Amino acid sequence: MKNIIFIAPPAAGKGTQSELLVNEYGYNHISTGDLLRAKQNDGSDLGNYIKNLLSEGKLVDDDIVTTLLSEKLSSINGPFILDGYPRTINQANTLNDVLKELNLSIEAVIYLNVDSDTAMKRALGRLTCPKCNKIYNKYSHDKMPMNENICDDCNVELMGRSDDNEESFKIRFDTYLNNTKPLLDYYKSHNLLVIIDKVSTPNETFEEVKKVII
């Protein structure tokens, strides 16, 4: 199983594809967004600082994110998915150093090509279980919970993300276009880039992802 990076606009389905890879192949899912969201509620000054940036849709400082990432990468065994890191060329260079130090490597970078209208709709409908992190969507037939607003597995109330509103989404999408999209050329030049273009249902996308990782 290959170690991979997902690159995609916000709410394009990186988390959902990661969840499927975890369940089917036992991948370690490393989402810097999840690591930051876990940190934002610890009551510390750093937690509050992160919370504000997240809800405004702004990038968190490189040193904070990279520290969380390195700690996580050092603690896992087996294949891993990077979801949400790197988000800039600078972070891609830092990642090379971190991986080298840990004797790890990336074997494929998967780009999920989703247009901004589709991504915005997914963001505005997204709901997450606070207990198991499973992702639902109130506007998508195959991602709705069985009972409105309740996790199918944990029976607890689902929550929306503070940054899944129109205003923050637009900032996140612009940041993606300006800072993250240039990574496609970067990874293309390293012969690692795989583009998945027709992203429709999660299962159809997953069939394409499977072809890349095995």
Q: Which stretch binds ligand AMP (CB under 6 A): 40-48, 81-89, 98-106, 139-147?
A: 81-89
Number of chain residues interacting with ligand AMP (CB under 6 A): 18
Three-state DSSP class for residue 135: strand
Q: Which of 13, 179, 174, 25 is nearest to 83 (CA)?
A: 13
* Residue 85 contacts ligand AMP per CB under 6 A: yes
Q: Helix or strand or coil: residue 5?
A: strand
Question: For the range 174-178, what are the long-range contacts, defined as Cβ-Cβ under 8 Å and sequence gap of 24 or more?
Answer: 175/57, 175/58, 175/59, 175/87, 176/9, 176/10, 176/87
User: Is 163 a binder of ligand AMP (CB under 6 A)?
Assistant: yes
Q: Does 106 bind ligand AMP (CB under 6 A)?
A: no
Q: Which residues ranging from 164 to 183 are in contact with ligand AMP (CB under 6 A)?
A: 172
Interacting residues with ligand AMP between 12 and 71 (CB under 6 A)? 31-33, 36, 53-54, 57-60, 65
Residue nearest to ligand AMP (CB): 33
| 8 Å CB contact between 84 and 4 | no
Q: Does 143 bind ligand AMP (CB under 6 A)?
A: no
In terms of Cβ atoms closer than 10 Å to its own Cβ (0-12, 13-18, 19+), residue 207 is: exposed
Applying CB under 6 A, which residues contact ligand AMP?
Answer: 10, 31-33, 36, 53-54, 57-60, 65, 84-85, 87, 91, 163, 172
